[in-house]
Amino acid sequence: MRYVVTLKSKDGTEKAYYTCLSFVFEKEIFTPYTSLTAILCGTELPEDVVEIKFSLEGKDIHHGFVDSYRLTKRNGMFQGVITSRGFTALLTENQLPPGMYSNMTFNKLFDEYIAFPNVEHEDNSQSSYIYVKKGASIWDSVANLSYKISVTYPYIYERNMVRMNTPPTPKEFKQNISMTISYGTEFNTRRMVSKFNMADITGEYGTYSAESSIAAERNIIRQRHFELDERFLNNPDLACQFRMMMAERDYKQYFFNYSGYDCHDINDVLISDEFGKRRINAVRITGDKNGIRTKLVMYDSIPPIE
């Protein structure tokens, strides 16, 4: 199985390297970027790197800026350790001017207000207003618009494409028993909140709230109160529902670990005897001298496919 790391230097030159000692690649449906850590070696490596691309089994799965790069020379050989996030991470590090934006669409938000290089987006012209709070990131506006239009959270598809709806033709995979290393379930209640309470326009609490039946089953009491969320003025109940979705998003997970890599992506479909037919919500791929291993994660909060 082949994987290729392509590095871009400050002067704009690009070069592919096939001597990657190890790598860790991750993407997850609620994380607005892919991430990669790679260790390279060779008789020569660039001193400064500004971009990195990563291809696995002929599929381009990562293209991002360099967060850190350490270059070491020992016994005539260079070793480079690179950490990188996909270019969509810039959506979390930039802001729009605060205020109300009416008749906003996904296309308009990305093409007129963002337009970052190397970032693509779903073609969608459905509209709603967004309210940008002071200090909020652009990703907050993307998530707000997505939830209002599709009642979904946006995610990264392929390398740097932002989508809010499932892909029109998701790939389906059947569990390969011969390649499976292990599988199981995991629970995590650290983010769980038992009740969200939002103040109304007068500042009084009690009108808008959302309670978690899952937290109640586990005797977890964590209540949160917050001021009127102007992002949801046209439907205030969504403010609590949105927060509850985020609090419960990964409380129960189904996972498969297998040997190799079969080009899975977020919202592709995995079919297994153990967990049925479910959408893939996270992918973690590791590679070293012992080969390549993939972990697929499906969240119980996202219903199975009938």
Q: Which of 42-46, 174-178, 181-185, 255-259 has the lowest mean pLDDT?
A: 174-178
Contacts of 137 (CB under 8 A, 6+ apart): 91, 92, 93, 94, 95
- pLDDT given at position 304: 79
Residue whose C-alpha is closest to residue 196's, from 159, 155, 245 = 245
| Mean pLDDT, all residues of the chain | 93
Q: Which of 137-146, 189-198, 295-304 has the lowest mean pLDDT?
A: 295-304
- Cα 190 to chain centroid, rounded: 19
List alpha helices for 111-151, DSSP H: 138-150
- pLDDT given at position 306: 66
Average pLDDT over residues 177-194: 91
Average pLDDT over residues 229-240: 93
Average pLDDT over residues 18-44: 95
How would residue 302 be classed by pLDDT, with cut points 50, 70 and 90? confident
Q: Render pLDDT for 285-294 as a digit per residue (tens, 0 to 9).
A: 999 999 999 9
42: left (phi over 0), alpha (psi -120 to 50) or beta: left
1 has a pLDDT exceeding 60: no
95 has a pLDDT exceeding 60: yes
